[in-house]
Structure 1
């Protein structure tokens, strides 16, 4: 039976892999597979590499956390890919016309797998407790993928934007299902309906052995983010408090993180010191104890932090700065001049937490309280995180609502560089508070589809329309016109 289950799971995985990433939604997946037991479907959910990672170039390269100086590029053009530059300068056509979009494809693969589970879950043999849990997992996987994509490809959530274009809502594994984009409201309504189904899970707390499985505490953490993003601050606090009741998700004291490896370079000589997190592979970082739900942004290039991001830290006391910013990290990519920093986290620096962490839940609560006018409560929540991040603890303080909001947003940027900054830039552009909008500009060169002209400086500014990531042209064309491009 075990050999048959492994073979069947391999066939299912192969069916998903063989679907062309260039036209994922328009292809008919190979559904001629034998699914007979709930254990087989549970094995799909436990395929953590499929669900835990997102290859998200917008998050990596399009926010003001990322910076390529003109000098660094001019002297080292090979260190930055052509695709990176298209995202960096907010190109519409350059991003749309790429060969594929790994983020779009990856999330729809997760949705396909969730739909495959939901189609078969009530037909297979097995115990009812496992069946109920796997079903909840599938609903949560689908909701999470739709939420993530909605916050990149669609307009930011606001009352004004509810009738704007949402996503193609794939609810089955049938390739004949419509690919027409739903409205933003319909997309968010569908996400909430999936969350309601996921909440039927009986597991109260996060299982630290399988943090990619859904639990009530993980759902509360998600909902604290969800309600913060739509501006329902009272519910954001309520859900944050529920999530913070977890007994298994804990903050890591960054003062306890150990040294990792040393990298030596010559011509000229340089030594880079990495902390232990740099050496952690998936057998370790998937079980990072701060996570309610394992999900990581991955970048097979490198995170080049902006001067503004680095200057936002207390360099002498903030352990995030000391451990995660490698001052001469560009040497890993053959950059000698100018000295160029690198931001790292897990597994050679390519993986950054993007799922719900205890730190995020605390800051969700802190921001919501600040916006509700509870300054003391906001600072208390933010400082519960900060005490675990500083070598010499310096608490945040604020005199009034406006300063509290600024302090919490600054701490949020320091806690989630790259993985969450794009999300925040978008949502802060449409909320009802005018003091938190973020302007993103690039002082760079003229970048076209054919190359970069280092003799022509150019300034780029992110506008509200380009906050919507262009949908890949191959996806649009292969849908026979059903998928509409964002209006630019």
Structure 2
């Protein structure tokens, strides 16, 4: 169904009602005509990134299996409950799906205005205009990618033409009431790919004053590797990850020793997101509560990452990860005594005062959008998926996985091998994780574990316990660890068809009182809740909503 641009922005564009005729006539009716210089075009692109409300990370993390319900006695509010329960309508909040929708379309509109202005100046005839065009194309591609991964079903080459996409805004609007259609998911991804491929060669890192808050070359190539990984184009995922990592990926590793030496959790979070880190390529500072949820605070302790997941599945599995059980992390997770949260340094909370005297303001969350670790893990995953056709792929995957893992530990790490990973995946964890109601005991052992059944194609066709599946299970575990608190796990549960359980814990944070819900593709049909529902006002305006399970 076709709908106008104001509904793409969540009905956020309104004309002020109380404006005099002379005031209205004094206004430039087309603000894009003011973009008449290289500097103005570059400046509008600052508004093509999330800086206010609308970051996807908190919603994605709370939608994933990285959190569970720790009981009503822990801190929470209705917004967190709505997101955790995959509610059709979510309470208003800076992090709400409505703001993800409207903010990303505003970012896209700003990128399109810049692109239109560049053409009005005669095209990218100068180095600065060329770089601005590249940045605008990457911003447009990235915002559409975020929207597709929040509001559309996961991409699969076989089914992408069957699922609805989101409206792809590929030009600046001049019509009073432009019309858009959702199209198909395949069409959306094809256009994202075109923007990426056209944009990357135009980028120029020297055009930025602070490159790590813009789509610099490494950030763009890391985004490209993610995009190609998600559409299962293994060769291009490897190609772009290699452009990021160069021939000397060791020089881009994160300095965990320096992070571990810092005195408290907040300073470690700040160091993790530092623009001076060679491991960080693109940073985001958004108006968001994710820094409260995923740092040293008791906020939203009811729906959080705590003991049962931390000690069985993620940061400290009782039987060890694929790197073994005797490792010592340089920057280990912290356990918050008041809420039971298990926290890694990932997102830094900054309070921005609007009135320092009254002490009022709002939370900003600084986070990493693209980094060295992702490039390594993206390339390793692509190599694993090529193992059946390339006999050298397993060694290439192991090299990236070992480089990633060795940087995490101060002691106890021995390089992983195909044999050691096989032992971990088939002997240490012979079964896939299953949930139960009750408490861990000798007669009722806890069966939660890091290994998950994969229900999505082509991963579900891999031989269970075979070399390729074992390697992929280890890689997925590493990704879960690396991207904890950042929302990527939700995207991975979608890609791989991993069942996401909702279970209520007793006060001991170990006893499962009740399994309240689950998203599962086990019957061969993808659960339609893997695509979050469109904002209510967008649906009310007539844009086709996402279907739901019957």
Q: TM-score range by the shorter chain?
A: 0.7 to 0.9
Cα distance, 1:375 vs structure 2:
2.2
| Residue in structure 1 matched with residue 65 of structure 2 by the alignment | 64
Residue 128 and residue 360 in structure 1: after superposition, are their counterparts in 2 closer, same or farther (change >3 A)?
Answer: same
| Whole-angstrom CA distance in 2 between matches of 1:352 and 1:19 | 29
CA contact (8 A) 1:229 1:427 kept: yes
Q: RMSD across aligned C-alpha pairs, in angstroms? A: 3.6
CA contact (8 A) 1:296 1:354 kept: no
CA contact (8 A) 2:347 2:485 kept: no
| Whole-angstrom CA distance in 2 between matches of 1:124 and 1:354 | 34
| Residue in structure 2 matched with residue 269 of structure 1 by the alignment | none
| Residue in structure 1 matched with residue 269 of structure 2 by the alignment | 278
For residue 11 of structure 2, give the secondary structure of its aligned residue in structure 1: helix
For residue 477 of structure 2, give the secondary structure of its aligned residue in structure 1: helix
Give a deviation string over 1:53-106, Cα, whole Å, max 9, x none. 852232131111122312xxx223xx2120111111122244799986221122
| Residue in structure 2 matched with residue 170 of structure 1 by the alignment | 169
Q: Provide the aligned length of Structure 1 versus Structure 2.
A: 424
Cα distance, 1:197 vs structure 2:
2.2
CA contact (8 A) 2:132 2:203 kept: no
| Residue in structure 2 matched with residue 84 of structure 1 by the alignment | 80
CA contact (8 A) 2:282 2:368 kept: no
Q: 1:251 aligns with which of 233, 248, 253?
A: 253
Mapped pair 1:103 → 2:100:
yes
Q: 2:539 aligns with which of 471, 476, 484?
A: 476
| Whole-angstrom CA distance in 2 between matches of 1:234 and 1:363 | 14
Cα distance, 1:49 vs structure 2:
6.4
| Whole-angstrom CA distance in 1 between matches of 2:168 and 2:397 | 37
Give a deviation string over 1:235-281, Cα, whole Å, max 9, x none. 222222222118798111312215445xxxxxxxxxxx426233459
CA contact (8 A) 2:101 2:147 kept: yes
After superposition, where does 1:424-439 map in structure 2 within 5 Å?
A: 424-429=492-497, 438-439=498-499
| Residue in structure 2 matched with residue 371 of structure 1 by the alignment | 385
| Residue in structure 1 matched with residue 442 of structure 2 by the alignment | none
| Residue in structure 2 matched with residue 383 of structure 1 by the alignment | 402
Cα distance, 1:21 vs structure 2:
6.5
| Whole-angstrom CA distance in 2 between matches of 1:58 and 1:320 | 29
Unpaired segments of 5 or more residues in structure 1?
1-17, 262-272, 430-437, 446-455
Mapped pair 1:487 → 2:547:
yes
CA contact (8 A) 1:201 1:215 kept: no
CA contact (8 A) 1:51 1:141 kept: no
Residue 203 and residue 385 in structure 1: after superposition, are their counterparts in 2 closer, same or farther (change >3 A)?
Answer: same
| Whole-angstrom CA distance in 2 between matches of 1:31 and 1:246 | 48
CA contact (8 A) 1:221 1:243 kept: yes
CA contact (8 A) 2:256 2:407 kept: yes
| Whole-angstrom CA distance in 1 between matches of 2:30 and 2:247 | 39
| Whole-angstrom CA distance in 2 between matches of 1:88 and 1:321 | 28
After superposition, where does 1:74-473 map in structure 2 within 5 Å?
A: 74-76=72-74, 79-94=75-90, 101-124=98-121, 128-158=126-156, 159-174=158-173, 176-201=177-202, 203=204, 209-245=210-246, 250-260=252-262, 273-274=264-265, 276-279=267-270, 285-295=274-284, 298=288, 299=290, 301-303=292-294, 304-306=304-306, 307-311=308-312, 312-314=314-316, 317=327, 319=329, 322=332, 325-328=333-336, 331=338, 335=339, 339-348=340-349, 351=365, 353-373=367-387, 374-392=393-411, 393-399=413-419, 400-419=467-486, 420-429=488-497, 438-444=498-504, 459-463=516-520, 464-473=527-536
| Whole-angstrom CA distance in 1 between matches of 2:328 and 2:41 | 44
| Residue in structure 2 matched with residue 14 of structure 1 by the alignment | none
Q: Which has the larger radius of gyration?
A: 2
For residue 165 of structure 1, give the secondary structure of its aligned residue in structure 2: coil
For residue 294 of structure 1, give the secondary structure of its aligned residue in structure 2: strand
In the superposition, the TM-score normalised over structure 2's length comes to 0.68
For residue 382 of structure 1, give the secondary structure of its aligned residue in structure 2: helix
| Whole-angstrom CA distance in 2 between matches of 1:380 and 1:247 | 13
For residue 91 of structure 1, give the secondary structure of its aligned residue in structure 2: coil
Residue 231 and residue 462 in structure 1: after superposition, are their counterparts in 2 closer, same or farther (change >3 A)?
Answer: same
Give a deviation string over 1:1-26, Cα, whole Å, max 9, x none. xxxxxxxxxxxxxxxxx999642378
For residue 443 of structure 1, give the secondary structure of its aligned residue in structure 2: strand
CA contact (8 A) 1:24 1:475 kept: no
Cα distance, 1:418 vs structure 2:
3.2
| Whole-angstrom CA distance in 1 between matches of 2:405 and 2:253 | 10
Cα distance, 1:128 vs structure 2:
0.9
| Whole-angstrom CA distance in 1 between matches of 2:64 and 2:82 | 13
Give a deviation string over 1:434-461, Cα, whole Å, max 9, x none. xxxx21111239xxxxxxxxxx966110
Give a deviation string over 1:291-323, Cα, whole Å, max 9, x none. 23334785254033143245433587453761x
| Whole-angstrom CA distance in 1 between matches of 2:478 and 2:330 | 11
For residue 349 of structure 2, give the secondary structure of its aligned residue in structure 1: coil
